[in-house]
Amino acid sequence: MPSVMVWLLRYLSNLEGRNLMAKRQLTIALAGNANVGKSVIFNQLTGLNQIVGNWPGKTVERAEGTLYFKGYKIRIIDLPGIYSLSTFSMEEIVSRDYIAVQKPDIIINVVDASALERNLYFTLQLLELEAPIIVDLNQVDFAAKKGLRIDVKKLSEALGVPVVPTVAVTGSGIDEMLSTVIAVSGEEEKLKPLKVRYGKEIEEKVEALKKLVSDNLSQLCTVYPARWIAVKLLERDTDVSGKLKNYKRGKEVLKNAEKLAVELEKIHGEASPVVMASERYGLANKIAKEVTVVEASPRISLEQKLDAVTTHKVLGYPILVAIVASMFALIFIGGNFLIAGLEFLFENLLFHVEEVLSSFLPEIAVSLINDGILAGVVAGITIALPYIVPFYIILALLEDSGYLPRAAFLMDNLMHKIGLHGKAFIPLMLGYGCSVPACIGCRIMETERERFLTGFVVVLIPCAARTVIILGLVGRFVGLHAALALYVFDLVLVFALGRIAFKALPGEPVGLIMEMPPYKKPSIKNILMKTWIRTKDFIYMALPIIVAGSVVIEALYLLGFMNYVVEAASPLMSGWLGLPPEAGIPLVFGILRKELTLILLSELVPLESLTAIQMIVFSLVTMIYIPCIATIAACIREFGWRRALAITVIDIALAFFIGGLAYQLLPLVMTT
């Protein structure tokens, strides 16, 4: 509870600060490796006062918030968590460009005290970028648990910048850190940052190249430090060398850089980035050793035992299945419980609204407002609250505890069969809850090819809404074994399609490289905060499109267009799929919300009158035919228009193809 108090106090002082005139504005950026508690610090600083979005033109998350402290208005940008500042992924380019181009007043480098050497590697790169940094030595409590104590003063002297120890989850040290930010920005505390230097033969080359760079690329040097450009060129950084193309003498500089890099490789017998990385790690290791005091040898903790069991060759799998199943059950049971109450509430509400509106508006307008706009809003809310909220809570729990990398570890080999690696299992697992976060979750894949491939299979995983149909139709009327068979079939389909897509898409598969953060006790506050922020994002993204879709479909319905749809689709519906022709209508509305298809179908055709085969075919088609409109929106955001369209078209074609095939083939195997 004290952490809540601290937070409340900060929130109140925030309110107070807002009323005063801010003395000065500051922009600070948070930078650090993944898994160091950076987002927790960000949440501690900004509370709910934050906006999450994307970096312009990139599917990289950008979080920004404002904070008032001691009369200062502080804008905080959370840079994506990365391992190093070289161009491996979009996250890294985004971060270093932000630091170099936007030049925030201060960069808070969040460092994990329990893995100092590894984290200092990143710190050294920030210093090379000549960024004004202060170091937030986080998770000092966890380091102490491992028997490590960091000499803060020594570390600060070694780096030449202030170091503030914090424990982000409890909020301890955050105020001191902010005071340090203010002190540094007001130049009460001066930075004397460490100059990163390499071995003699590297240093000669860096200096020679630096001179060339500052002589010939003076404009680029106003953005990036000349020495940094030289180092990156020596490392054959493709992003930096690409920037040289616009310069008259860029080619010449590049040629020289290449020559020097080759020389360097001859001396060391290693690729030039490896030489540089070795040197930086050497320095990081030296500093880490100097400032770390080993107080006790670590004991085998509960967390380690948990780690061993959950990644065990045999035991790991039943645990994984149990976790996925209980996640599924929780969302499903909780969702159904909530949805019943909500629907009752909204139906009454809509009924009254309709009454009021009818008194002064023509019938057609009432229908458009009521069945179009309001029904869309209700649809959005009845998806978001009962399914998305519990789902996001469980997701945050799995994330913060550190379980997800273990699941990826267990599934790595299987995922390789479809050209992906273990990490792809995480969005796949999320897909059983909701396709939207699952699509967004594809970001954890490193290359664009992997992201798209994962997205392609993820939308085929039956989400909670599709489960409603499978269980409510096939499970209830045909039997649980048939419902289960549908799930198994879906998995086979995902696997087969994944394999085909993997063979069809150009490019090399990438192997798994993943850090395994230790297990941690999740903090409730952080989980609720994450859930809230993500739910808000979901509503912002999905609600407008659901409402718009709802209005369009309602308008088509009012114009009598639906009859044409039924008529036009009837050869397909009854001829190819063997379904009653009316079944086309629920499929159209199902684009908005998949569980709606079952309700609509039951209104149009008595469910008992359907044969088992018809039920199975209908469920199959609904399961595959199209990701719902919110998922399409997520796909557009994550993969672009063309790929989202490709996924949609392929899924529709596939659904009807498989549905028809099932109609033809099932009578052969089923006796009913």
Q: Does 313 bind another protein (CB under 8 A)?
A: yes
Q: Does 539 bind another protein (CB under 8 A)?
A: no
Distance CA 249, CA 332 (A): 63
Q: Does 269 bind another protein (CB under 8 A)?
A: yes
Q: Does 96 bind another protein (CB under 8 A)?
A: no
Please select the residue that binds another protein; options are 202, 395, 407, 410, rule is CB under 8 A: 410
Q: Does 479 bind another protein (CB under 8 A)?
A: no
Q: Which CB, 313 or 642, lies closer to another protein?
A: 313
Q: Return the number of other C-beta atoms located less than 10 Å from residue 12's C-beta.
A: 10
Q: Which of residues 284-303 bind another protein (CB under 8 A)?
A: 285
CA 605 from chain center: how many Å? 41
Contacts of 39 by beta carbon, 8 Å cutoff, 6+ apart: 63, 78, 81, 530
Largest separation between any pair of C-alpha atoms in the chain: 88
DSSP 87: S
Please select the residue that binds another protein; options are 405, 578, 590, 627, rule is CB under 8 A: 405
Q: How far is residue 127 from each of residues 43, 195, 227, measured CA to CA in Å? A: 25, 7, 11
Q: Which CB, 194 or 514, lies closer to another protein?
A: 514
Treating both helix axes as pointing N-terminal to C-terminal, what angle do 226-234 and 200-216 enclose, rounded to 10 degrees? 120
Minimum distance between the CB of residue 406 and another protein, rounded to whole angstroms? 9
Q: Which CB, 288 or 461, lies closer to another protein?
A: 288
Q: Does 506 bind another protein (CB under 8 A)?
A: yes
Q: Does 83 bind another protein (CB under 8 A)?
A: yes
Q: Which CB, 132 or 509, lies closer to another protein?
A: 509
Give the x/- contact pattern for another protein in 114-133, rule: CB under 8 A: xxxxx--x------------
Minimum distance between the CB of residue 183 and another protein, rounded to whole angstroms? 31
Strands 50-54 and 61-69, bridge-based pairing: antiparallel
| Residue 164 β-bridge partners | 136
Q: Does 88 bind another protein (CB under 8 A)?
A: yes
Q: Which CB, 511 or 544, lies closer to another protein?
A: 511
Please select the residue that binds another protein; options are 387, 403, 409, 456, rule is CB under 8 A: 409
Q: Which helix (H) or strand (E) holds 23?
A: none
Q: Which helix (H) or strand (E) holds 304?
A: helix 302-310
Please select the residue that binds another protein; options are 100, 277, 365, 491, rule is CB under 8 A: 277
Minimum distance between the CB of residue 315 and another protein, rounded to whole angstroms? 11
Q: How far is residue 493 from each of residues 404, 459, 481, 624, 654, measured CA to CA in Å? A: 24, 12, 18, 10, 10
Distance CA 241, CA 254 (A): 7
Q: Does 13 bind another protein (CB under 8 A)?
A: no
Nearest CA to 338 out of 395, 393, 383 is that of 383
Please select the residue that binds another protein; options are 32, 104, 225, 316, rule is CB under 8 A: 316
Distance CA 460, CA 482 (A): 18
Please select the residue that binds another protein; options are 278, 336, 401, 611, rule is CB under 8 A: 278
Can you give the binding site for another protein, defined by CB under 8 A? Answer: 83-84, 86, 88, 114-118, 121, 235-236, 268-271, 273-274, 277-278, 281, 285, 308, 311, 313-314, 316, 405, 408-410, 412-413, 416, 421-422, 506-507, 511-518
